[in-house]
Amino acid sequence: MGVALVYSPRYLLHNKGIKHPESPQRLAVLVKGLQNSPFAGEIKWLDPLEIDEEVLLRVHTKSYINLLKAYAFLGGGWLDEDTFVSANSYDIALLAVGGAVRAIEQAWKARDHSFALLRPPGHHASQSRGAGFCLLNNIACAIRYGQEHWGLKKVLVVDWDLHHGNGTQEIFYEDPSVLYFSLHQFPWYPGTGKVEETGKGKGKGYTVNVPLPAGCGDEEYIAVFEEVLIPIAYRFQPDLIAVSAGFDAHFADPIGGMFVSPYGYGMMTRILKELNEELCEGGIFAVLEGGYNLEGLLNSVQAVIGELLDIRFPLQRGERIADDTTRQKVNEVIVEVKDLHSLG
């Protein structure tokens, strides 16, 4: 399988002109770095689809979309203390959803691994509210589009961003066709993502949360993948694996308290790739979420893409590892999640 990246320089235009961790530089540095990387020649670059509001209405309420447009029309503002809207943010957020749709199309129909390098990010945005730097839920809109237009049925969402994707969880909470799996620092923003949050109604059991203490590194993330995600994926039998790929669990991230290194992101990608080969026909579909240390973001995304391309190069490993208390706590959480989800 090839690897396709979806990007538009217009993604840099969502910009309040202030110092903010979710800055246009994140993507500018990332894309420049990838274009100069040793495997640049192997990557296909695709433009986002130009979509209209209809696509958003499968996930978001009309009143929230109108609110976003009104903010943008009035020159921008703040949805909460972290989440800005600039004059063109509605258009750019719509183009971000179009990037996610283009990427899922490439994974599902053209059978490439795909990664949408977009901003603003999406996993904190729920049906009726933007939050945590997120305006529209890119991954959820893309999944709904695929289900509606191409007969895509079951999707496994793997959210390895540092934070819990409360928006994505809420959108699919009662839906057994989308299994939402998240590992995240806890307690931490946004406060959701407890083990007991497992879905509702027909969706009961189709939300899997692994809340982790601060201070986890590669080994803990890989252990959660091996002990929880792999059995969950085999039981669910997804048609497509979608990744909310945030990189704020990187050891140098200014927001997070985890120590994941590019090596860890590469290894998590390898596990997803093996699952994908066993269970799915298309490629893996990934969407960028957080990640606020520019060098850490680039090195980590390179590790993911290298793994997807089967190009193994020496990956940077962090020096800090979890202490015994943290590791013990992680083991307890893993047991708790496996018990609650009857994973034996």
CA 111 vs CA 1, 143, 243, 268: distances in Å? 7, 16, 16, 20
Q: Which stretch binds Zn ion (CB under 5 A): 1-9, 248-256, 295-303, 316-324?
A: 248-256
Q: Using CB under 5 A, count the residues that bind Zn ion.
A: 6
Q: State how far the Cα of 218 lies from the Cα of 187, in Å rounded to an integer.
A: 19
x/- site string to Zn ion, residues 153 to 172, per CB under 5 A?
A: --------xxx---------
- Asked if residue 250 binds Zn ion (CB under 5 A), the reply is no
Structure tokens at 149: 């237009």
Q: Which of 199, 282, 283, 290 binds Zn ion (CB under 5 A)?
A: 290
Report in angstroms the alpha-carbon separations of 215 from 159, 218, 271, 304, 324. Answer: 18, 10, 22, 22, 10
C-beta closer to Zn ion: residue 250 or 270: 250
Q: Tokens 């998590």, residue?
A: 268
Among 14, 123, 124, 163, which one carries the catalytic annotation?
124
- Spatial separation of the C-alpha atoms in residues 311 and 218, rounded to whole Å: 20
CB of 312 to Zn ion, least distance (A): 28
Query: Is residue 193 a contact point for Zn ion (CB under 5 A)?
Result: no
Closest distance between Zn ion and the C-beta of residue 250, in Å? 11
Nearer CB in complex with Zn ion: 161/239: 161
Q: Measured from the CB of residue 165, what is the shortest distance to Zn ion in angstroms?
A: 8
Q: Is 60 one of the annotated active-site residues of the chain? A: no
H/E element holding 334? helix 324-340
Judged by CB under 5 A, the residue of 246, 262, 264, 283 near Zn ion is 246
- Write down the residue that tokens 């979890």 correspond to: 322
User: 197-217 burial, b for 16+ CB within 10 Å, e for fewer?
Assistant: bbbeeebebbbbbbbbbebbb
Of the listed pieces 12-20, 54-62, 79-87, 282-290, which binds Zn ion according to CB under 5 A?
282-290
Q: What are phi and psi of 218, to 5 degrees?
A: -50, -45
| Span from 12-20, 135-143, 241-249, 319-327 in contact with Zn ion (CB under 5 A) | 241-249
Q: Does 239 bind Zn ion (CB under 5 A)?
A: no
Q: Which residue is nearest to Zn ion (CB)?
A: 290
Q: How far is the CB of 18 from Zn ion (least distance, A)?
A: 19
Q: Phi-psi region for residue 187, left (φ > 0), alpha (ψ -120 to 50) or beta?
A: beta
Q: For residues 130 and 246, which CB has a smaller minimum distance to Zn ion in the complex? A: 246
Least Å distance, CB 132 to Zn ion, is: 7
Closer Cβ to Zn ion, 119 or 163, answer by number? 163
**Contact stretch for Zn ion (CB under 5 A) within 43-51, 111-119, 168-176, 285-293:** 285-293
The answer to whether the beta carbons of residues 141 and 55 sit under 8 Å apart is yes
Q: Which two tokens stand for residue 312?
A: 């193994």
CA–CA gap between residue 56 and residue 148 (Å, rounded): 13
Residue ranges in contact with Zn ion by CB under 5 A: 161-163, 246, 248, 290
Instruction: Kindly list the catalytic residues.
Output: 124
